[in-house]
A = this chain, B = another copy of it.
Amino acid sequence: MQEKPELDFPRPLTTVDVVIFAIRSDALQVLLVQRPKAESEPFPGAWALPGGFVDIAGDRDLEACAVRKLKAKTGVVSPYLEQLGSWGSATRDPRGWSATHAYFALLPEHTAGGALAGDAQWFAVEGEKVRPKLAFDHAEILQAAVLRLRNKVEYTSLPAYLMPQEFTLPELQRTYEIVLDRPLEKSAFRTRMLAADLIEPVAKMRKGPNRPAQLYRLKKAKAPVFFTRTFNPPG
């Protein structure tokens, strides 16, 4: 490692933040952590996205760092994880020039209750915001994550990653509607979802208070399926 002047350049602080979504109580929720209350910390006591500094000794790459932070807060090991973008500027962190690599993760509801860290808590997403004022530029990052999620939902199968292993078509549709925050046409939804070849029926039925419903599960496809068309909004 030679002593190039460039290597002596002061380097930005480098962090990774994760926007963790789940459907809970029939609403889209996001996991936040409370920053330490010590006055020496930036934004003491404020809510923030889970994240922190890259550990160049321990983290092989950025995604491994994101997985580590997600596991630390939720105990979840392998959710859907996608890079969202990066935010870097001289002013976003009072400690100096900093850049964060933001990821977003989708958790099935049943895993979202598990091994939550003590400083972590779920908050409902209202519009593209959340009730408490967020530290740093995390409100902007959260908004980008919600918009990206909504946007991708229009033409991919992403919401399937928010479902438990087995689910009914109306439940899946409900999840789409929660994420998109608008009603969808039942028959168009069924036609498209089945044509997308993303889910397969299992032998069982779900017996509810009403008519029993067919159970489906995600096919083995790892990547989200792209639909050829968007759902056109009714009306």
Task: List which A70-111 residues lie within 8 A (CB) of chain B.
Answer: 83, 85-90, 95-97, 99, 101
User: Is there contact, CB below 8 Å, between B230 and A99?
Assistant: no
User: Is there contact, CB below 8 Å, between B229 and A2?
Assistant: no
Which of B6, B53, B96 is close to A9, meaning CB atoms less than 8 Å apart?
A: B53
By secondary structure, the A interface counts as loop
Interface residues on A, range: 35 or more
Closest residue of B by beta carbon distance from A90: B60
A145 interfacial by beta-carbon distance below 8 Å = no
Known pairs A9-B55, A97-B56, A228-B230; A40 contacts B2 (CB<8 A): yes
User: Is there contact, CB below 8 Å, between B85 and A12?
Assistant: no
**Cβ–Cβ < 8 Å partners of A221 in chain B:** none
Which of B57, B101, B155 is close to A86, meaning CB atoms less than 8 Å apart?
A: B101
User: Is there contact, CB below 8 Å, between B14 and A96?
Assistant: no
**Cβ–Cβ < 8 Å partners of A12 in chain B:** 11, 14, 54, 56
**Cβ–Cβ < 8 Å partners of A61 in chain B:** 88-90
Task: List which A26-77 residues lie within 8 A (CB) of chain B.
Answer: 40-41, 52-57, 59-62
**Cβ–Cβ < 8 Å partners of A59 in chain B:** 90
User: Is there contact, CB below 8 Å, between A86 and B86?
Assistant: yes
User: Is there contact, CB below 8 Å, between A62 and B40?
Assistant: no
User: Is there contact, CB below 8 Å, between B4 and A40?
Assistant: yes
Give Cα A131 to B87, complex, Å. Answer: 32
23 contacting pairs across A/B (C-beta < 8 A)? A1-B96, A4-B40, A4-B41, A6-B52, A6-B53, A9-B56, A10-B56, A11-B14, A11-B56, A12-B14, A54-B88, A54-B99, A59-B90, A60-B90, A61-B89, A62-B87, A62-B89, A83-B85, A83-B86, A99-B99, A228-B230, A229-B229, A229-B230
Known A10-B57, A60-B89; 4 more pairs at CB < 8 Å: A4-B41, A6-B53, A62-B87, A62-B99
